[in-house]
Each structure stands twice: as C-alpha cells, then as structure tokens.
Structure 1
Amino acid sequence: MSSSPVGLHRVLAPAGVLPQAAERLDARPELWPDEVRITVERLNLDAASYRQLADTHGGDGAAIRRAVLDIVATRGKMQNPVTGSGGMLVGVVDEVGPGSPLGVRPGDRVATLVSLTLTPLRITDELKDWDGKSEQVPARGHAILFARSIVAKLPDDLKPELSLAVMDVCGAPALTARVVRSYVDKGTKPVVSVIGGAGKSGSLSLAAARAAGAARTIGVVPVESERERLTAAGLADAVALADARDPVALAEAVQAAGGPADITVVCVDVPGCEHGAVLSTAAGGTVIFFSMATSFSAAALGAEGLAADVTMLVGNGYVPGHAEYAMELLRAEPGVRGLFEGRLAED
C-alpha cells in the first residue's frame, strides 16, 4: 500500500475512514516518504475535552493523567471519546520524509495546526511532569504529520507555551474577521457579541472583530471575576454578565449591552449554549460556533423552533494565514496578551 496525503495508510480501524474518524491509528515512528516525525514537547488539550475529563474525575489530576494516557495508548491519538475533540502540540522536527511538502527541517520547533484527533501520537514518559491540573501538558513522545497536515514554526520572540496557547485557537479570530469584513464590504458595520469573551479564542475574536471594522463589540462572561478581567483588557465596548446556558438571560444581557448582535461568536467550552446564541442574534444575523461542546442538532432545531432567520457557521479551525494573523493580534493588543499570560500563570 502507498501512503496517502491525508493519512489513510495510518488508519487501523475501521477501514475506509479518515484518521479523524478512526477508532485506532498506527503511531509507529517509522516514516512513509511524505511524512514528518515530531519529537513532542507539550500537548495543549482542547478546552471542552479537558473540562469533560476534569468534571468526570472530580478534578483529580492523577486520574485525569491516567485517562489521557489510556486514550492515547488505546487509540494511537488523543481524541476524547466523549467530546470527540483533541487539541494540538508543540515539538521539534525529528525526521522529514523525502516526499514531504511541509517545508520543515530537522531541528525546527513547530506547532501542529491540525487536531490531535487525527495525529498519530505515542507518549513515552507516562506524562510524569504533568499534574493533570491544566490544559497544557508537558510530554515526551512522538507524533506523525501527513502530507496535508498543517504546521507552523514557532516565533522566536514568544515563549513556546504562549505560542501554543495562541495557535490552539487561531482559527477563531481569522474566521471572525472574515465574517465581519463581509458585512463591512456590504456597507454594514455589525454589532459583534462574543460568548466566552475572556477566554483564549474569545479574547482574540473580540480583537479581530474590532480590527475588522465592527461597530460595537460585546463580550459575554459568566462570572464577575471574568467581567473584571475583560473590562480591564479593554477589548470590548461592553461586557455583559450572563450564563450562556440560560437563553432568555443571555438575550436580555446582550440587548442591554447594545444588542441584539448581528454576529454572535460562541467560544465557550460547556454544552447548552446553542439556544441562547440564536436568541441573542438579530434576524438575518450570523452565529459562528467555535466550541467543541456545541450540539449542532440542538443549534439547528433550536433555530427552527424559534423561527430564527440566522446563518450558522461551524468554525473548522482553518483559515489561510490564521496562525500569523492570531500572532499579529497578540503582539498588537496588550489586552489580549495580558489575558493569555494571566491564564498561563494560573496554570
């Protein structure tokens, strides 16, 4: 069998599916000609996945660590069987197959911009340096990239942990900016509401919306401490306090902050926010779902049940130039950088 640019040759079961949908991948270190092997330094677990693991194990770090090790050992990749999501990683290029088109060389420190849910992965250190208490996971092992994988070299002016945190969510601000510009190009400066505005993807999306020409930005957060953080960061024209799982309360909070929103960006890592996102969006508006906790059937049926004329987009994590754009926002917006560095310090 020849290698496949999308990794079909690494699928062990079931036959005929792409690596992301596979139950098990072949994570052997030996390379096919168009592959790249990465020596892993750190994983960044998807926020929805980590929250689910933490909730299931009552915050017990040792139990969370064992769960992650079991997933990787069983599946040959990091894909939470409950949320279906994974994360990404940073590491150093170890070997490059002669047919690889990725443009990296041995010794390059890189971040993978494709999900761990489709990346063959083997852990060799039992995650001994991770206490299980944060999304960022010091790790040793190797990962395999395919010909159609996406990878970015880490910038020299930022700490790897900071770069990893930004690149993990870089699709959100890029797509937010694209959608805002589409409104502006048609002569409308939209009101943009970001649910989960104090988080990683949320803060970048607020900055992107403002830079792209939004008339007003609204950040929605669930607790007072996050409202204080986001207000201090200065990324939103208004900060609303609401539980996004309460549709009426969310819609009222957004309305009071200057809504309804023409564009709603959902960046929270908990389920049950679909109806509130739809209800707080103006007729003819757009809802962008970036959370892996989203139930897309709930979103579609909720919009139908509310007779809501909204366009719903799924943020797939990739927009051309997304990593570079997110890094530019981080460097240009002290508020974004402050929020990221604050969260890393807490971890």
Structure 2
Amino acid sequence: MSSQATRPTLPAGDPLGTHRVLDPPGAMPQPAERLDADASRHFETEIVVDVQTLNIDAASFRQMEEASGGSPDGVAQLVLETVARRGKQHNPVTGSGGMLLGVVRRVGSLAEHRGVAVDDRVATLASLSLTPLSLRRIIAVRPASAQIDVEGTAILFGSAPLARMPTDMPERLALALLDVAGAAPQVARLAGPRDSVVVLGAGGKSGLLCAAEARRCVGRAGRVIGIEASPGLAADLRSLAICDHVAVLDARDPLAVRDAVLPFTGDAGADLTLSCVNVPGVELSAIVATRDRGKTYFFAMSTSFTAAALGAEGIGKDVDLYIGNGYAHGHAEHTLALVREHPALERLMTSRYG
C-alpha cells in the first residue's frame, strides 16, 4: 500500500442540480420549493461564485416594489426573506428570478471545461429561480435598473450557462444586457426580410433590443412598429430611428393596439409580434396585432400562457404562439455585438443601466 496520501474523492453532483433539491424530493431545481445553498458542500460539477449584484427580473422587481409600497428597503427585505426560505431568489408571486454578477471562488474538477477560472468575473445566464443562493447582507437597491448589490454566495450547476464579463462596457450595462440576452437571437430566428414586426413594450430593456434586431432583420423594406406606454421611453425609442412608427398607448388595451398596428400593415396585422411588457394582461393585444398565420412571441415572464392559448382560440385567430426562452446558443455574444453595432443604443442603455 502506498504511503502517499490519497486525495479524497468528492461527489460529482448531478449536472442538472437535482442533488441540491431539498423539497419536494425528486423535483428539478427550478420548480423546487427549496434548494440547498450550502457552499461548504463541494460537488465537482459545480462552480461557486461570490455574488456582488443581483439583476432581478423586471416582472419580479415590479411586483416587489408594488408589494412594499415602492420602498427599496421593503424590496430588500422581501429578497432576504425569499432567499432565506427557499435557498434561491425565486419570487413566489411571479415565479421568476433574474441573474447575477460575481467572482468565481471555486471550479469543480468536472466543471473545468466550462472555460472559467478562480477570480474571473462572470454573469450567470441561468435564472436565479434555479440557482442556489445565500445572502449575508444587501448593500443597495437600485430601482432604475432593477439591480441589488449584495454580499453572498451562489452555486452554478454543470448545465447552467454563464459568461465572462466583457471589458469594453460598464459592468452594470453588461449585466442588464445579459439578463435579457435571449430576446434578440429569437427575433433573428423569427423575423425575415420585408416582414412587419410589432414590439409591445418597445421602450424597455428587452423591447429596445428586439426592436433593434427586428430593424436589422427586416431591412428598410420591412416595418418595425413600437408600442410603449411611457411617453419618456417612447421618446427615447424614437431618437434611435429604428422604428417606422411609435405609438404611445397601454399595451393592455387590445383594441387600441390593433387600431395602431393595422394602418401600418395593410390592415393585415404584423408578421411577427413580440411581447416585452413586464405586466400581465397583454396576451390578447399581441394576438390581435398579428396577421392570420403570423407569429406571436411572448418574452415577458408576466405572460399567462393559458390566457394566450385560450384567447387566440376564443377569437378564432390562427397564429403560432411562441414561449419566450431566455437561452439561445451564443445569445450573450449576439446581444453584446448588437449593442456595440448601435452606438446610439449603447449610449441610451448606458444612461439607464451603466
């Protein structure tokens, strides 16, 4: 028998993270009620991150603001309570989370192929609703960007996407963009040359990216129509000159949306409608804005997919309904490149989030 000390063998852990589920047994991490966020338990498929900023999903942050009467301290308390109870930032009302920025503390031996090393600054591209998280304290709440500065620890599973932070733009801007990085690549898959595209909530973070990608895809022979409730955000959108028409109206009013879209689409409706609104109740608006056999894409986590499916059926509208997927191959690089190619868009986004 060799006298050389044998290195202890650590458990691998399930790349899907099921070994961290506490309740209910057998669940996947995202729908689970509680996760084990104890970072002192090492698994070789995991990456451990010292967390600095949480970028909260827009629908989740809005709900917490409303529940706390607009108080940043109230939002902080809700986050602390959720994380302490569930082992993750999984809003029990909206069901959504967000993503985070931090520094890599540990890389398991079976995660070394992920291409990150200790001390790398990274953003997680998997939802906080499935990421084991523990918080020591909250430092600051930033309502304008839905970001919360914290001290804490997160655990990334073997299947969870992540990205190194870019060095050519402010970190807060990059974090905000990576939070919605799945939006623009999906537009690129669905929009074609000369198409007409409607973006609901076009003045917001994901809406701006969708409108910019739509302009690139449809060309000047196509149409991009932005719907935005905020006059200020609508003015910002107009300044970018990526939309042929911007209508200031409440996207929860389906008849107003329909009447704004039809004149610019030959009374047929859009080939593609994208819902990027962070409030519920816009499902029918997106559907009535879309032409027969067109495509309706719901990116916002506030969407009721039951309302969308039954709503389309109820008005006899034959459209293809797409569920928003925050992940697409190469989506981080795609979105960062899109913003770099539009200096005016980058300046606007920097003024808001950077």
Compute the TM-score of the two structures, normalised by the length of structure 1: 0.94
| 2:207 is aligned with 1:202 | yes
Q: CA deviation at 1:132?
A: 6.0
Q: CA deviation at 1:129?
A: 2.8
Distance 1:342 1:211 in 2: 23
Distance 1:72 1:132 in 2: 19
2:89 maps to which residue? 78
| 2:245 is aligned with 1:234 | no
- Residues 205-256 of structure 1 show CA distances to partners (whole Å, capped at 9, x for unaligned) of 1111121235111111013222211101222121112211111011111223
2:217 maps to which residue? 212
| 2:30 is aligned with 1:20 | yes
| 2:327 is aligned with 1:333 | no
Q: CA deviation at 1:261?
A: 1.0
CA contact (8 A) 1:235 1:336 kept: no
CA contact (8 A) 2:55 2:179 kept: yes
Distance 2:63 2:243 in 1: 29
Which has more radius of gyration? 2
Match of 1:10 among 17, 20, 33: 20
| 2:288 is aligned with 1:283 | no
CA contact (8 A) 1:61 1:132 kept: yes
Q: CA deviation at 1:2?
A: 5.4
Q: Aligned with 2:96: secondary structure?
A: coil
CA contact (8 A) 1:239 1:257 kept: no
Letter in 2 for 1:225: G
Q: Aligned with 1:129: secondary structure?
A: strand
2:47 maps to which residue? 36
Quickly say closer, same or farther: Cα 1:131–1:234, change in 2 above 3 A: closer
Letter in 1 for 2:261: V
Distance 1:83 1:253 in 2: 29
Quickly say closer, same or farther: Cα 1:229–1:315, change in 2 above 3 A: same
CA contact (8 A) 2:53 2:150 kept: yes
Letter in 1 for 2:133: L
Q: Aligned with 1:19: secondary structure?
A: coil
Match of 2:158 among 130, 138, 147: 147
Unpaired runs of 5+ in structure 2? 1-10
CA contact (8 A) 1:61 1:133 kept: no
Distance 1:60 1:227 in 2: 26
Give identity over the alignment, percent: 45
1:59 maps to which residue? 70
Quickly say closer, same or farther: Cα 1:248–1:131, change in 2 above 3 A: closer
2:180 maps to which residue? 169
Quickly say closer, same or farther: Cα 1:120–1:10, change in 2 above 3 A: same
2:301 maps to which residue? 292
Match of 2:114 among 80, 102, 105: 102
2:312 maps to which residue? 303
Letter in 2 for 1:121: L
- Residues 154-175 of structure 1 show CA distances to partners (whole Å, capped at 9, x for unaligned) of 1111111010000000100010
Q: Aligned with 2:278: secondary structure?
A: coil
RMSD: 1.4
Number of aligned residues? 338
Unpaired runs of 5+ in structure 1? none
Q: CA deviation at 1:323?
A: 0.4
Q: Aligned with 2:141: secondary structure?
A: coil
Distance 2:66 2:152 in 1: 27
2:274 maps to which residue? 265
Distance 2:237 2:24 in 1: 45
Quickly say closer, same or farther: Cα 1:228–1:269, change in 2 above 3 A: same
1:117 maps to which residue? 129
Q: Aligned with 1:286: secondary structure?
A: strand
2:56 maps to which residue? 45
Compute the TM-score of the two structures, normalised by the length of structure 2: 0.92
Distance 1:62 1:85 in 2: 20
Quickly say closer, same or farther: Cα 1:12–1:131, change in 2 above 3 A: same
Letter in 2 for 1:196: G
Deviating beyond 6 angstroms after TM superposition, the runs of 4 or more aligned structure 1 residues are none
Letter in 2 for 1:199: G
Distance 2:290 2:174 in 1: 32
Q: CA deviation at 1:133?
A: 6.5
Letter in 1 for 2:337: E
- Residues 45-84 of structure 1 show CA distances to partners (whole Å, capped at 9, x for unaligned) of 0000000111111101111110011001110000100000
Letter in 2 for 1:29: A
Distance 1:134 1:217 in 2: 26
Distance 2:323 2:252 in 1: 19
Choose 215-224 or 106-115, whichever is displaced more.
Answer: 215-224
